[in-house]
Amino acid sequence: MLSTRHFSLPFSKLCKSSLYLSVLSALGSGYAYAEQEALNAINKKEMEVIEVRGIRSSMAENLDVKRMSGSVVDAITAEDIGKFPDKNVADSLQRVPGVVIERDGGEGASVSIRGLSSELTFTQLNGNFIASSPGEPSRSFDYTLLPSSMIESVEVFKSPEARLDEGGVGGTVLMHSRKPLSMEANSGVFNVESTYADVTKEYEPQFTGLYSWKNDDENFGILVGYTYQERTNRTISGGTDANVWRYTGDGQPTDVTGNSVDNNNGWDTINDSNGNSYDGVWFPQVVRGSVLNEKREREGVRFSTQWRPTNRLELGFNYFGFTLGQDRTESVIDIPEWSLNPDFLTAVNLDETGTIATGMQYDAMASGIESDMQFPWMRGSYVREESTSDTFDFNLTYEGDNFKARFVIGNTQSEGGPEESWEAAYKSSNAGENAATIQNAAQMAGWSLEQDNVSLNIDPNTLVNLQNGIGGGRDAGSSNSSFVRSELEENYYQADVDFYIDWGFLKTIRTGAKYRHATLHRETGNTFFLDPNFDIAAGEASEQGITRFDSYQWNGGMPLAQNVFTSENNIAGGFDINQMPSIDWNKYRDMVTANYVPYTRIEDNFVYDIEEKISAFYIQGDFEFSEVRGNLGVRVVQTKTFTSSTDLYTYQLDHTNDETGEPVTGDARFVEDYQLVTQQNKDTQILPSFNIAWDATDDLVVRGAIAKVMSRPDYSDLGAQQRITFVSDEWADDRAAFNELPGFSGSGGNKNLKPFESVQSDLSIEYYYSEGSAAGLALFYKKVDNFVVPLVIDAQQSFAGKTNIVDSGTITIAPYSTVGNGTDAVSKGAEVFIQHAFDNDFGFYANYTYNKTNKADVSINGEAFGQSPLIGSAKYQYNTSVYYEADYFNVRASYNKRGETVLGLNSGLNVYQDPYEQLDVNASVNLYDGLSLTAAVINLTKSESVTRLGNDTDARLLNTSYSGRRYYAGFNYSF
């Protein structure tokens, strides 16, 4: 099962060993001068070699990479061909000091380093970016896309070097794939597993195969890999809408320090049916429970070839192709804003301070007669989508007598988005069904927010009533089939030359240039389901074209609740509910498609495009004298950004006809207007870096580093369309019973965002006291400018207006969700690690990171809007793993905990994620040579993620989320 590693003895002379050479060569670090010195030493003296393999070998190799690097680097290497320490590369990275991962459906999806958001971690495969576009594009790499079986090793650079691509204010993750000429001929791995989760109760397969071949002359090789995975993820979440925690009354709330909170989203006093009034109270506008079911089918293909026609020349080609298909349904139970009505509200529970609502109870008979309660609001969505990612590169390396040149030409592109997208909503009452009398499927409902839990209760007869045709009013206005698709492509061209010199302490001069041209297109589309007799040609030729009001839901085609409602069961965490009616999407889709014809249109007026042209040049010198080594360099980067978006203005004019009470349709109901906005920006960054390492003794290494780094804003933050909604007095009057507010609200990106900039320094000491064992302490400091913070604010905007709809002039838009730049943020802290291998087959490794951030000013276009810590920053985190490895059996238990994490700024307060901890266990049994039985349990502790508004109280609960405990079992055969 385990690959052989060779260690030279004694350990104190490791820097002149074959392991040092192989590690540097495998990771492509380019320390050619040191490699040559190591070869000379090997030629002069035959060294004693022993075999060490498996977990211990991998851990020792990780330490060797860290020790020999001239920069601040941590590493993870595969324990065997196709066998990484965890089920996912991201899961393995969380063992690295200072690294926190974010999960998607319980699987590691993105990585953040030293308290900065995952968007500031720059991830590359073999030195280049991989595009991934699951509908909404992101600069952050999606680790669920790439199977770990294709990766040999990973380096985490916490201090930059000029030769590395810019983009990682948090850090840079370099993943290295296997190469055929570095593997044995006819070697590879086959892995077959089944997985099971407590939230899905399904067994699902996954397969990985990797095969490598090379000729007898070992100058030509081919490597192929294939992976297939079926996975059902289920995320159960309860909480409140994060953007609509309100405050009653005209006064400003205060935070725990007594400072006034800038929150103008207050409502009038809440009154219940008993005549009680609640003023000066925080309350959630919406309380909900949701269940997200996601079936994934992932395929990955890898093909690589190497050819060395001469000893000096090497040619290579790499291709990686991934396809991710997803069928996703979501069931939601909402108790929304229109519940805050004395005709329904019977009781309000407050926290011990009397200023935060922690529970509410409602009854359709609260006013003495049965009122049109309309809630719980029962919503759902169904999405079928596919995303693809294709990356290829051609590379050429030439070794001269005193130099090495490398040229790379590559392309990475991805596209993704729904093939089908449905949304539908129903109300508890029979509102809108032309019934003579009011009927409510639910006579009562309520919610409560406990310290770590959301509880919902509804009338236990709700589902039966819906299925019997009682209540279940169809909400056409909240039912649609819109979707988002995106295409991301980048071409890159790179040339690097290393000159091996002997100018005193200067040993290598590295220089190079890289050009990247990236284009992003994001679009919105709609699928309207039309009557078979609808004249499509005439509709397209009309002035307004085909609109949503021609679709099925506005023309009596939306299925009745009694025909499509079922129950969502197995609520294993996330929230509590006594019953959860939900839409059966198979029935819903079958009924609509049997009677209506789909008509899909890409909306030309609702897109955004981003084009980036990035030019970079660097020069770096690697030095070595006595027991000191390191590098000094500078990288100059120019980024030209072209951004355009079509902003949407929606005017909600009249909800219902006053005479008939029926919904108004067409332009009399609402009007949409679009405006194309374009912008060009140019930014030039000069990024110096300096790294130094001193071998103070044979066992002690002292390091220092200082550098300036930058990261570009995320695509969606930079390019997202502005969406402004105007609610007229007439519309608000129609919905006065449900506290509909007139005026403007909106959201949008910020085309004026500046790139993140950080000046950072590191100081560390590492003690390598035994083979495979070490301990160390690191101090770090980052001063970050232009970090991006999500905001919910009151925005002043010069508004051209629309004749006879709204007056032109400066308009207050409240609330307005956007992003802004923060300045003068400081992140500083310390990392401690220890790794020890005992002689009795046991071992452990542990690390602890403490991170302290200040509250920095946040502004939009130069106007201050508040203060916020660095988004994604956590006060502390620690990881520990204990393992046992014998000839026929090994087991490892890994525990990690992350402290309170800052997520954004909302309603004048920061959003915080509670401390999170998780325990994972991996084990394998060697059946015979090369074949092993493997098993794992992920999230043994059944941990849940919890977020809150502000950290002055536990009462303002935003969200709880549970993705389950997952089990794996399978066979691994390496040959």
Residue 434 confidence (pLDDT) above 80: no
- DSSP strands (E only) in 400-474: 403-427, 444-449, 454-458, 473-474
Q: What is the pLDDT of residue 118?
A: 75
Q: List beta partners, residue 947.
A: 913, 959
904 burial class (0-12, 13-18, 19+ CB within 10 angstroms)?
buried
Residue type, 547: T
What is the pLDDT at residue 801? 53
Q: How confident is the model at residue 125 (pLDDT cuts 50, 70, 90)?
A: confident
d(CA 97, CA 879): 8
Q: Which residues are registered as beta bridge partners of 108?
A: 103
Q: Give the C-alpha separation, 800 to 673, whole Å.
A: 12
Please determine, for residue 637, whether its predicted confidence score (pLDDT) is greater than 80: yes
pLDDT in the model for residue 224: 95
pLDDT value for 218:
93
CA atoms within 13 A on the CB side of 427: 21
Contact of 476 with 494, CB cutoff 8 Å = no
Query: What are 281-339's pLDDT values in tens digits?
Result: 888 888 999 999 999 898 989 999 999 999 999 999 999 998 888 899 999 999 987 78
pLDDT of residue 808: 60
Tell whether the model's pLDDT for residue 693 goes beyond 80. Answer: yes
Please tell me the predicted confidence (pLDDT) of residue 851. Answer: 87
Tens digits of per-residue pLDDT, 538-547?
A: 988 887 788 8
Q: Is 353 exposed, middle or buried (0-12, 13-18, 19+ CB in 10 A)?
A: exposed
What average pLDDT does range 122-139 have in this prediction? 78
155/153 Cα distance (integer angstroms):
7
pLDDT of residue 417: 84
As beta bridge partners, residue 612 has 518, 641
pLDDT surpasses 50 at 24? no
What DSSP element (H or E) covers 11? none
Nearest alpha carbon to residue 926 among 875, 974, 889: 889
DSSP 558: S
pTM to 2 decimal places: 0.81
Q: What average pLDDT does the structure give for the chain?
A: 83
What pLDDT does 671 receive?
76
Given this model, what pLDDT does residue 253 score?
58
Per-residue tokens: 747: 């959201």
> Residue 435 pLDDT more than 50?
yes
- Compute how many other C-beta atoms are within 10 angstroms of the C-beta atom of residue 940: 17
Coil, helix or strand for 235? strand
Average pLDDT over residues 546-558: 90
- Split at pLDDT 50, 70, 90, the class of 4 is very low
Q: What value does the mean pLDDT take over residues 842-864?
A: 79
The answer, yes or no, to whether residue 582 has pLDDT greater than 90, is yes
CA 361 – CA 274 distance, rounded (Å): 12
Which letter, b or e, does each residue of 44-72 get, where b requires 16 or more Cβ atoms within 10 Å of its Cβ?
eeeeeeeebbbbbbbbbbbbbbbbbbbbb
Cβ atoms of 648 and 723 closer than 8 Å: yes
pLDDT tens track for 356-389: 899 999 999 988 888 888 889 999 999 998 888 8
Q: Is the pLDDT of residue 245 over 60?
A: yes
CA separation for the pair 18, 37 (Å, rounded): 11
pLDDT higher than 60, residue 795: yes
As a whole number of angstroms, the distance between CA 406 and CA 494 comes to 8
pLDDT at 256 over 60: no
Average pLDDT over residues 264-268: 57
The predicted-structure confidence for 896-950, as pLDDT tens digits, reads as follows 888 888 776 666 677 888 898 989 998 999 898 889 999 999 899 999 888 888 8
Is the pLDDT reported for residue 257 higher than 50? no
Model confidence at 628, pLDDT cuts 50, 70, 90, reads very high
800 vs 527, higher pLDDT: 527
Instruction: Please provide residue 854's backbone torsions phi and psi, each rounded to the nearest 5 degrees.
Output: -90, 175
Are 221 and 180 in contact, with CB atoms under 8 Å apart? yes
User: Would you state the pLDDT for residue 458?
Assistant: 94
What is the pLDDT, as a whole number, of residue 6? 34
Residue type, 242: A
Q: What is the pLDDT of residue 749?
A: 76
Sign of CA dihedral 745, 748, 751, 754: positive
Instruction: Give the mean model confidence (pLDDT) for residues 637-653.
Output: 85
Checking if the pLDDT of 890 tops 70, the result is: yes
Is the per-residue pLDDT at 456 higher than 90?
A: yes
The string over 485-501, giving b where at least 16 C-beta atoms fall within 10 Å of a residue's C-beta and e elsewhere, is bbbbbbebebebbbbbe
Residues 62-90: pLDDT tens digits? Answer: 888 888 888 888 888 877 666 666 667 77
Can you tell me the distance from the alpha carbon of 710 to that of 170, in angstroms, rounded to the nearest whole number?
9
pLDDT in tens, 796-824: 766 655 545 666 667 777 777 777 777 77
| Whether the Cβ atoms of residue 203 and residue 166 lie closer than 8 Å to each other | no
Give the tens place of pLDDT for each residue, 465-481. Answer: 999 999 999 998 888 88
For residue 46, what are the contacts with CB-CB under 8 A and spacing of at least 6? none
Q: Which of 134-143, 261-270, 582-591, 617-626 has the lowest mean pLDDT?
A: 261-270
Q: Specify whether the CB–CB gap between 218 and 289 falls below 8 A.
A: no
Closest to 170 measured CA to CA, from 132, 139, 131: 139
> Is a pLDDT exceeding 60 seen at residue 45?
no
What CA–CA distances, in Å, run from 719 to 188, 361, 366, 716, 812? 44, 42, 48, 5, 22
Identify the residue whose tokens are 């990356």. 391
Closest by CA to 145, choosing from 387, 417, 415, 438, is: 387
Task: Write the pLDDT tens digit of every residue in 718-747.
Answer: 777 777 788 887 777 776 655 567 778 787
Q: What is the pLDDT of residue 859?
A: 65
The rounded distance, in Å, linking the Cα atoms of 774 and 907 is 47
The answer on pLDDT for 7 being more than 50 is no
More confident residue, 869 or 763: 763
Q: Is residue 731 helix, strand or coil? A: helix
* Residue 686 or 91, more confident: 686
Residue 220 has pLDDT above 50, yes or no: yes
User: What is the model's pLDDT at position 21?
Assistant: 39
503 or 789, greater pLDDT? 503
Taking 3-state DSSP, the helix, strand and coil percentages for the chain, each rounded to the nearest 5, stand at 10, 55, 30
